Amino acid sequence: MTGSTVAKRYALALFQLANEHQLLDQMEEELRVVKEVVNTNPELGAVLKSPKLTIEKKKEILKGAFASASTYVQNTLMILIERHRENEIIEVADQFIQLANDERGIAEAKVYSIRPLTDAEKKGLSETFAARVGKKSLRIENIVDSNLLGGLKLRIGNRILDGSLRGKLARLERQLLG
């Protein structure tokens, strides 16, 4: 089994539990926190992958780090540790978030702009582009990128919509040279 297949199975099991107990929003938020902590602390990842530490010690570290998480999220983390799948924690969180988004009709979008977007601008982008990808709304992560020169660039899943000035100049250059 590939890593993503394994992660999908764990995420699906946790997703089913979340739906049964009406804890979808809570578990999604907890898994976003877990993902953020593991991503921003490479030391934690190194400790979890260390063969020198016992499984019990790794479990103890995770229980301490995520003591406020629900029992279901904690148990999933413990099972991942027991089965030596520490490297799947982020992927399980990503898969769960994807399942939750699909359930709600939401897509994750990264919007690159030369300045931070206002809430009204984010809402407008969500309303405009959500229908294009067959979703009800977009959860927008705004990334400020001064290299764009102007305009916006959206990434929704594997789609990129480039309305930036830099993108337009690059297309014009290709036309003139081609």
| Domain locations along the chain | 3-101, 106-177
Q: What values do phi and psi take at 136, rounded to 5?
A: -80, -40
Q: What is the DSSP letter of 174?
A: H
Distance CA 68, CA 36 (A): 15
Instruction: Write down the pLDDT at residue 2.
Output: 52
Q: CATH number of the domain at 3-101, please?
A: 1.10.520.20
Residue closest to 101 by CA, chosen among 71, 65, 74, 126: 126
Give how far Cα 70 sits from Cα of 62, 102, 153, 168, Å: 13, 22, 37, 47
Per-residue confidence band for 35, with pLDDT thresholds at 50, 70 and 90: very high
Q: What is the DSSP letter of 131?
A: G
Instruction: Write down the pLDDT at residue 42.
Output: 86
Distance, CA of 43 to chain centre: 20
Per-residue confidence band for 142, with pLDDT thresholds at 50, 70 and 90: very high
pLDDT, tens only, 77-108: 999 999 988 889 999 999 999 999 999 999 89
Say if residue 1's pLDDT is above 50.
no
Instruction: Write down the pLDDT at residue 3.
Output: 55
Say if residue 134's pLDDT is above 80.
yes
Enter the tokens of residue 128. 């405009």
Q: What is the pTM of this model?
A: 0.78
Contact yes or no for 156/138 (Cβ under 8 A): yes
**C-alpha dihedral, 128 to 134 to 135 to 141, nearest 10°:** -60
